[in-house]
Structure 1
Amino acid sequence: MKTLVWVEHDNAVMKDATLAVVTAAGKLGEVHALVAGSGCGAVAEQVAKVAGVATVHVADDASLEHGLAENVAPLVAKLMESHDAFLAPATTTGKNIAPRVAALLDVMQISDILSVEGPKTFTRPIYAGNAIATVESSDAKLVITVRGTAFDKAATEGGSAAIENVGGAADAGLSSFVSAEIAKSERPELTSAKVIVSGGRALGSGEKFEEVITPLADKLGAGIGASRAAVDAGYVPNDYQVGQTGKIVAPEVYVAVGISGAIQHLAGMKDSKTIIAINKDEDAPIFQVADIGLVADLFTAVPELTGKL
C-alpha cells in the first residue's frame, strides 16, 4: 500500500505534528510525503531526512503559499490516483483539507485515529473519548486524520528520501488569504510542550491567572493551557484551550490548577504521562484521572509550590 502524508509547515520549517503521521502511515505501507507550498524547498529537505519516508513530492506554487484547503485538496486528489491512503494530522489545517479530499474521492473519512489494527481497520475515540470504536473501511481509497498524541514521532534523522517535483497546482478561485494574526511566545507550543500548566475558572480573573499560573510555568519551563471555562470567561486567549474543542495534548507532565475535570477537558489531556491536579473540591472529576492529587486552596498551594521550586 502506498500512503501519502500531508506535511504541515510554514514554508520554512516542518511542524512536529507531521512526525506522528509518518509513524501511522508506516504501519500501512510505503510512506510518501507531500510538501505543498511556495518557496518550500527547505521543508522538502527536512522531510527527506525523516526516518521511514521513501519519497517526498514537492508542489511549489504561489497558490499554495498559505495552504488554502480549496487549492490543496484538488492537488491531493490528483496524487491519490497513484496512492492508496491519504493521511493528515488532526490539526486545524489537516481537518480542513482531509474532508475536501474525501469528498473529491467520494469516500468516507476516518477521523482522529488512535491506532492501526489492519490494512483498513483503525480505532478512534467517540463520545468525547469515553469509548473507543474500531472501524473498518470498505472504500478503495482511504482518507485519514491522525491524533498526534497517539503515535510516537518519527526520527528527524536517518532518512534519505528521493525528492520529486509535482505539477497540477492552481488557484481554485474559491477562497483567498487575507491576513494572519499569529501569537508569538517564548514558551513551547502546547502540542509539543513536555510540561504544561493549565488553569481553570476557579482562578477568578485574568489577573489572577497571570499571577498564579505564569510564575509556576516559568519555573517549570512549561507551556500554559486553560480549560474552556477559563477561555470563555476571557481569562486567556482561545489558543490556550485544552480539550475536545481545543488542543489535544499528551505532555510528560500536566498540571491542572483549579480545573474540575469536565469530560470535554479530560478528552484533551488524559493521555498525559503524569497528571497533577490541585483543587479544593475533593470530589472533582479531575482526581479520577490524576496520578497525583492535592486537595487545597490553589491561591495558597500554587505560590508555595512555586516558591519551593
Structure 2
Amino acid sequence: MTALVIAEHDNASIKPATLNTVTAASQISLFADGQVHLLVMGHGAQQAAEAATHIAGIAKVIHADGQALAHGLAENMAAQVLALALSGGYSHILFAATASGKNVAPRVAALLDVAQISDITRVDAQDTFERPIYAGNAMATVQSLDATKVITVRTTGFDATAASGGSALVEMAGATPDTGKTRFVSSEIAKNDRPELTAAKIIVSGGRALGSSEKFAEVMTPLADKLGAALGASRAAVDAGYAPNDWQVGQTGKIVAPQLYVAVGISGAIQHLAGMKDSKVIVAINKDADAPIFGVADYGLEADLFTAVPELAAAL
C-alpha cells in the first residue's frame, strides 16, 4: 500500500498545509506498513522539490515539470495526478482541503470513478475515516471500499510533520500535455505583509458589527499589529465589503486553528464556528451577552468593541 500526497508549493518551498496532509498519509500507511510518496507539480519548481526531500516520513518525491502545470490549472493537474495514479498503483491519493486541493481532488475522483472522502479529521483504519458533517456539529465515521481512495484532509485535524529530517530521493515524472480545457489569462495577487491566515499562530477577526471597511481598518489593524497577528473576517463582514475575500474564516472560507483567535464583533454563526472552533484559545468581544460566540470562547468580554479594542491595543 502506497499513499500519494499532492504537494502545494510556491516553486521555492512547500506550503504548511502539505505537512499536515503528510501526517494523515503516514497514519494511513501505518495500518498496512506502506510508504508515502509526494508529488510536486509545476514549472520551475526544482527548489520546492528539493525542499520536499527533507520532509520526515516521505519515501520518494515525484517531480513533474511542464509548462501546462505552471499556473496550477485544475484540469491539467488532475490529468497529471490521474496518470500517476494509473501507472503507480497508489491506494490512497491525498490533498489538503484548501482551495487548490478542493479544486483538483473531485476531478481526480470523477476520472477514477470513485467517491471522494472529504475533509477527514482522523484516520481509524486504511479504509475508515472520521469527517465533520452539519457544519461540524456532528462527526461521521465513513468507510470506503473503493480500490483507490481520493481524500481531502482538514489540516487542523492533524499536526504538521517535520519539514526536516527526511532523506527522500527525487524521481522525475513525464509531464502530461495541456488538456486544452482551460487557459491562464492573468492573476491579481494581493500583497500582504502579515502571516498567511491558515498558518498564523494568532488571528484577529472582525465581524459585521464594525460597520464599515474604514472602521474595520481603524479598529482591527492596531490590535493585529500589536499581536503580530493575521487578519480575518466573518462572511458577513466580507459580503458587506469590510474585508477582502481571502480573509474569510468559516465553513465557506478558510479553516483555521491558531494558538489564539480573537473574535471582534462576531456573533458566532454556526458557519463561522465551523472554521475556527479548533483554535487553542478563543477570545470574544461582543456587546450582545447572548451571542453564540461566547459559547465556544475561553475568554469573553461583553463590551462595545469600539471602546474595548482600542483600550486593549493600547494596553499591549
Determine the C-alpha separation between the residues in 2 that align with 1:169 and 1:250. 36
- Give the percent of matched residue pairs that are identical in Structure 1 and Structure 2: 66
- Alignment correspondent of 1:94: 101
- Alignment correspondent of 2:134: 127
User: Are 2:69 and 1:67 aligned?
Assistant: no
TM-score (norm 1): 0.99
Other structure's SS at 2:185 match: coil
- Alignment correspondent of 2:25: 25
Determine the C-alpha separation between the residues in 2 that align with 1:305 and 1:61. 51
Q: How far 1:138 moved relative to its partner?
A: 0.9
- Alignment correspondent of 2:13: 13
- Alignment correspondent of 1:155: 162
Determine the C-alpha separation between the residues in 2 that align with 1:176 and 1:158. 38
Other structure's SS at 1:218 match: helix
> Given residue 79 of structure 2, which amino acid in structure 1 is its aligned partner?
P
* Structure 1 unmatched runs, 5+: none
Q: How far 1:66 moved relative to its partner?
A: 0.9
- Alignment correspondent of 2:115: 108
> Given residue 251 of structure 1, which amino acid in structure 2 is its aligned partner?
P
Instruction: Select the residue among 287, 290, 311 that pairs with 1:304.
Output: 311
- Alignment correspondent of 1:84: 91
Determine the C-alpha separation between the residues in 1 that align with 2:211 and 2:114. 47
Instruction: Select the residue among 156, 166, 179 that pairs with 1:172.
Output: 179
TM-score (norm 2): 0.97
Other structure's SS at 1:256 match: strand
Pairing 1:129-144 to 2, within 5 Å after superposition: 129-144=136-151
Q: How far 1:15 moved relative to its partner?
A: 1.0
In 1, are the aligned partners of 2:26 and 2:36 still within 8 Å (CA)?
yes
Determine the C-alpha separation between the residues in 2 that align with 1:212 and 1:271. 25
- Alignment correspondent of 1:243: 250
Determine the C-alpha separation between the residues in 2 that align with 1:287 and 1:237. 25
Determine the C-alpha separation between the residues in 1 that align with 2:184 and 2:143. 37
User: Are 2:232 and 1:225 aligned?
Assistant: yes
Determine the C-alpha separation between the residues in 2 that align with 1:304 and 1:62. 52
Q: How far 1:305 moved relative to its partner?
A: 0.6
Other structure's SS at 1:116 match: strand
Deviations 1:18-48 (A, max 9, x none): 0000000001111100001101110111000
Determine the C-alpha separation between the residues in 1 that align with 2:135 and 2:171. 40
User: Are 2:266 and 1:266 aligned?
Assistant: no
> Given residue 128 of structure 2, which amino acid in structure 1 is its aligned partner?
T
Deviations 1:262-301 (A, max 9, x none): 0010000000000000001111000000000001111111
Determine the C-alpha separation between the residues in 2 that align with 1:173 and 1:138. 33
Deviations 1:152-189 (A, max 9, x none): 00101100001100114110100011111111111001
In 2, are the aligned partners of 1:11 and 1:65 still within 8 Å (CA)?
no
User: Which region of structure 1 is more displaced relative to structure 2, 76-85 or 91-100?
Assistant: 76-85
- Alignment correspondent of 1:54: 59
Root-mean-square deviation over aligned CA pairs: 0.7
Determine the C-alpha separation between the residues in 2 that align with 1:207 and 1:22. 41
- Alignment correspondent of 1:3: 3
> Given residue 95 of structure 1, which amino acid in structure 2 is its aligned partner?
K
